[in-house]
Chain A
Amino acid sequence: MERELVEQAQRGDQEAFAALVELAADRLYSIAYRILRDPARADDALQNALIAMWQRLPELRDPDRFEAWTYRMIVRASYREAEQARGLQVRARRLGILSPREQAGPLDRIASRDELDRAFRELTPEHRAVIVLRHFVGLPIAAIAETLEIPVGTAASRLHYAARHLRAAFEAEAHGVVAWRHPA
């Protein structure tokens, strides 16, 4: 069914494309939101990814690879949104000062969640993407590499680095270590 819709959309059938969007939008938004951690930018990433999908769908050689291909499109769109956000933050921060992190609260799940959120925001978009594709979407390393069009070794390296960074934050929280917070 999906393959037929993809083939029809590749030939310019807008209704078929709309049906594909209906099937994919929730999944793609979920990924964008988790990479960007910002609903407004996730909105923009989804919108841009859907338009890019329409434009580039004829380039998809194997219609059965549509789902993986959509992951690539939403990750790319998320990268662009993250880049825009980073530019703004760098500019706004130029004259700024850093604030000490508030004292960590008691060891509970909320504290760990906050610490994960802080550590995740410190990662680059590329590292965030591998975490989301691995631990949220559930893709194996090889599929992540194919989706992101990077070597398997690079995907594994990014995943290792990102997981280590998050784990350190998680364990620091568990041991009551107080760090200094970087601006978001």
Chain B
Amino acid sequence: MNREEAFEVQLARWLEEGPYEAPSEPVVAALAHVRAHPGRPRTFGSLWRHAMSGIGLTHVPSQPHRGWLAAAAVIAVAAIVIVGGYGLFNLGGQAGPAAGPTPTPTAPAPSPTATAGADMATGTQSCATTTEGVTTTVNEVVQSRGEVLECTNTSSDPRLAGAATIGYNWDEHPDGLWLGWGTAELQNEGGTWSGRYAVTSTSTAGAMEFDSLWGGSDGYEGLEVLNHVRITSRYTTIRSWVLEVGPALTGTERCTTTTSGREFSVGDVTAYRGVRVTCTDRMDDPRVSGTTKLEFSIDMRADESADMWGGITLTNELGSWEGFFFGTVDAGYTTHHAQSLLRGTGEYEGLLYRLEMVSPDGVNAELSGEIIAAGGAPEQAG
């Protein structure tokens, strides 16, 4: 046998290694999707949702369908952060105090970036629903609220392994847009990681990928973990970087409600949809100063406490930051709290911006946050 023949034999043998049988999950998910969308052409719903409608999702034996959704969100456990829809307070369209000029970023400033050099940990997550959410359909949007999942996280970093509890809410819109958000807490012998998470998906693909951020306590003080989560119909994998919390950025925000949105009632909840707010953010780092636009939803309960959630974009001359925020309003429609994790574009490509907002009146807010270099560690070689 000459060298060429030896090579081809070796190549053929190598290619023969590996599976010859398709797993059932993607086949079932695809056929379920076809059943749900028999027409052609069809609009994709969220494909990943149909992936759940099948079977054999081992981590959610009781309710594979919703459990998988939850698992997706959970994974996110992350504590997303940010800003908020102050507009909530000003549904009548009032503006806050006149906003001053937006600070102009002169250059990507050398300000705080947490991460560089952190080692990457890899892990998995599997979840089961312990409390079913309440599902309703409002204006053709399917909403689920109050689901709770118990999860087991594994990780190559023992600080990130343990039992996680996830609160999970989601909306699915008729056009396939899906929003999920909630709270998460992971505990182990060394301490606790907790935070809020939010994830959006319009993907028709079988996988969702997103970033999330958790804060440490009870032993992990001063640390946070950035997670990149990938969820498919079979696996949830998490790549994580444990970081020291970076120097805090601080600033203020003033907002004007530009659109009050649609108002309607569902039971004792007053709902607002399509609320739009424009804000001016003045932070001590010019990279995250600029004009912020939010479009979001509000559910206000009888005691005038509320949940709010939606999209957020912060723009200045050098680039923009985009993300999803989740917030609450205390009873009596008083203090607002919101968090978000935004991804940079333009000059800010490769950076994440964690933002938290607290507003006593819904008009003026105090902001804090940090900028994180996304992906603080090298990809592991083959």
Cα of A17 to Cα of B233 in the assembled complex, Å: 21
Indicate whether A184 sits within 8 Å of B20 (C-beta atoms), given known contacts A21-B30, A80-B205, A171-B3.
no
Q: Mark B11-24, 1 if CB is under 8 A from A, else 0.
A: 11111111111110
A94 sits at the interface (CB 8 A): yes
- Flag if A92 contacts B8 (CB, 8 Å): no
Cα of A136 to Cα of B20 in the assembled complex, Å: 11
Cα of A132 to Cα of B14 in the assembled complex, Å: 11
Contacting B239 at CB < 8 Å: which of A17, A55, A92, A135? A92
Cα of A28 to Cα of B20 in the assembled complex, Å: 9
B115 sits at the interface (CB 8 A): yes
Interface residues of A in 1-50 (CB under 8 A from B): 12, 14, 17-18, 21, 25-26, 28-30, 33-34, 39-41, 43-44, 46-48, 50
Using CB atoms, name the residue of chain A closest to B350. A94
B204 sits at the interface (CB 8 A): yes
Indicate whether A14 sits within 8 Å of B35 (C-beta atoms), given known contacts A92-B239, A95-B375.
yes
Cα of A93 to Cα of B47 in the assembled complex, Å: 29
Indicate whether A116 sits within 8 Å of B11 (C-beta atoms), given known contacts A33-B19, A95-B377, A96-B377.
yes
Stretch of A61-69, A83-91, A144-152 on the interface side: A83-91
In terms of DSSP, what is the predominant structure of the interface of chain A?
A: helix
B99 sits at the interface (CB 8 A): no
Cα of A89 to Cα of B230 in the assembled complex, Å: 13
Task: Determine the chain A residues whose CB is within 8 A of the CB of B3 once the complex forms.
Answer: 171
Indicate whether A91 sits within 8 Å of B23 (C-beta atoms), given known contacts A30-B18, A40-B230.
no
Task: Determine the chain A residues whose CB is within 8 A of the CB of B96 once the complex forms.
Answer: none
Question: Distance (Å) between the CB of B35 and the closest chain A CB?
Answer: 6
A177 sits at the interface (CB 8 A): no
- Flag if B378 contacts A183 (CB, 8 Å): yes
Number of interface residues of B (CB under 8 A): 61
Question: Distance (Å) between the CB of A137 and the closest chain B CB?
Answer: 9
- Flag if B378 contacts A47 (CB, 8 Å): no
Task: Determine the chain B residues whose CB is within 8 A of the CB of A33 once the complex forms.
Answer: 18-19
Cα of A48 to Cα of B34 in the assembled complex, Å: 11
Task: Determine the chain A residues whose CB is within 8 A of the CB of B233 once the complex forms.
Answer: 43, 47
B138 sits at the interface (CB 8 A): no
A182 sits at the interface (CB 8 A): yes
Task: Determine the chain A residues whose CB is within 8 A of the CB of B117 once the complex forms.
Answer: 95
B315 sits at the interface (CB 8 A): no
Task: Determine the chain A residues whose CB is within 8 A of the CB of B206 once the complex forms.
Answer: 43-44, 47-48
- Flag if A21 contacts B381 (CB, 8 Å): no
Question: Distance (Å) between the CB of A23 and the closest chain B CB?
Answer: 11
Q: Mark B24-46, 1 if CB is under 8 A from A, else 0.
A: 01110111011100101110000
- Flag if B26 contacts A43 (CB, 8 Å): yes
Indicate whether A92 sits within 8 Å of B378 (C-beta atoms), given known contacts A51-B34, A116-B10.
yes
Task: Determine the chain A residues whose CB is within 8 A of the CB of B10 once the complex forms.
Answer: 109, 112-113, 116, 170
Task: Determine the chain A residues whose CB is within 8 A of the CB of B169 once the complex forms.
Answer: none
- Flag if A14 contacts B38 (CB, 8 Å): yes
- Flag if B14 contacts A99 (CB, 8 Å): no
B234 sits at the interface (CB 8 A): yes
Using CB atoms, name the residue of chain B closest to A44. B206
- A47, A80, A109: most-surrounded residue (chain B CB, <10 A): A47
- Flag if A92 contacts B381 (CB, 8 Å): no
Cα of A30 to Cα of B21 in the assembled complex, Å: 7
Cα of A34 to Cα of B21 in the assembled complex, Å: 12
B232 sits at the interface (CB 8 A): yes
Using CB atoms, name the residue of chain B closest to A43. B26
- Flag if A51 contacts B375 (CB, 8 Å): no
B333 sits at the interface (CB 8 A): no
- A28, A95, A97: most-surrounded residue (chain B CB, <10 A): A95
Cα of A101 to Cα of B381 in the assembled complex, Å: 9
Question: Distance (Å) between the CB of A1 and the closest chain B CB?
Answer: 20
5 A-B residue pairs with Cβ-Cβ distance under 8 Å, sorted by A, are: A40-B230, A43-B234, A54-B34, A96-B378, A97-B378
Q: Which 3 A-B pairs have the closest CB atoms?
A: A96-B378, A29-B22, A50-B30
- Assuming A43-B26, A46-B27, A170-B7, what are 5 further A-B pairs, CB within 8 angstroms? A44-B232, A47-B206, A94-B374, A135-B8, A167-B4
A residues lining the B interface (CB < 8 Å):
12, 14, 17-18, 21, 25-26, 28-30, 33-34, 39-41, 43-44, 46-48, 50-51, 54-55, 58, 80, 84, 88-89, 91-99, 101, 109, 112-113, 116-118, 121, 131-132, 135-136, 163, 166-167, 170-171, 181-184
